[in-house]
């Protein structure tokens, strides 16, 4: 994933394994904190994060035309901010990437998925609040097999 340095604007490639960690700009060495906002994921980024993330991953399957998805968006953003360094939040547009939605059995949106170690540990269809999503991420101990 490409992240701009907050100091010099240099674009830095940050691997999925380091999105929840503090890194440094390759040019000016300014610290770049853990990702604190939802990340729009394509198939490649989704797979990279699923395979490499050392922390739980919350995936929000959504679509622009979906009213409940728009209602859930501020709650999802709050989760990304409050769990920075402890979790990664991805947003997957089901209209653009229906193959990902199909792979995880998403039939209604919004649909939330929690992954740990690349495996599903929780899935929920429907709008929920920030505290509920944080609870899902905080309660992750080991993947369900």
pLDDT of 76-94, one tens digit each? 999 999 999 999 999 999 9
Give the active site residues: 66, 69
Domain count, the chain: 2
pLDDT of 141 reads: 54
Contact 17, 54 (CB under 8 A): yes
Does 15 map to a domain?
Answer: yes
Contact 19, 10 (CB under 8 A): no
The residue range of the domain holding 103 is 39-138
Q: Model pTM? A: 0.92
Does 58 map to a domain?
Answer: yes
Cβ neighbors of 90 (< 8 A, separation 6 or more) are 38, 39, 40, 41, 45, 46, 49, 57, 58, 59, 60
pLDDT of 140 reads: 81
Whether 77 and 8 share a structural domain: no
> How far apart (Å, rounded) are the C-alpha atoms in residues 36 and 82?
8
pLDDT of 143 reads: 46
Distances 82 to 10, 37, 79, 132, 135 between C-alpha atoms, Å:
26, 9, 5, 13, 12
Torsion angle, CA of 77/13/17/57, rounded to 10 degrees?
A: 20
For residue 124, give the 3-state DSSP assignment: strand
Cβ neighbors of 128 (< 8 A, separation 6 or more) are 72, 75, 112
Whether 22 and 49 share a structural domain: no
Whether 49 and 28 share a structural domain: no
Does 59 map to a domain?
Answer: yes
Residues of the chain under the 50 pLDDT cut: 142-145
């Amino acid at each position: 994933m490409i992240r701009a340095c907050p100091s010099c604007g240099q674009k830095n490639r940050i691997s999925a394994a380091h999105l929840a960690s503090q890194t440094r700009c390759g040019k000016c060495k300014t610290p770049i904190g853990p990702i604190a906002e939802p990340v729009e994921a394509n198939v490649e980024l989704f797979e990279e994060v699923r395979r490499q993330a050392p922390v739980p991953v919350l995936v929000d399957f959504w679509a622009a035309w979906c009213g409940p998805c728009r209602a859930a968006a501020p709650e999802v953003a709050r989760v990304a901010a409050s769990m920075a360094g402890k979790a990664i939040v991805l947003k997957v547009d089901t209209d653009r990437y229906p193959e990902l939605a199909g792979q995880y059995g998403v039939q209604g949106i919004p649909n939330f998925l929690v992954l740990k170690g690349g495996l599903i540990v929780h899935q929920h269809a429907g709008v929920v609040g920030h505290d509920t999503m944080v609870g899902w991420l905080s309660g992750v101990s080991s993947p369900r097999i």
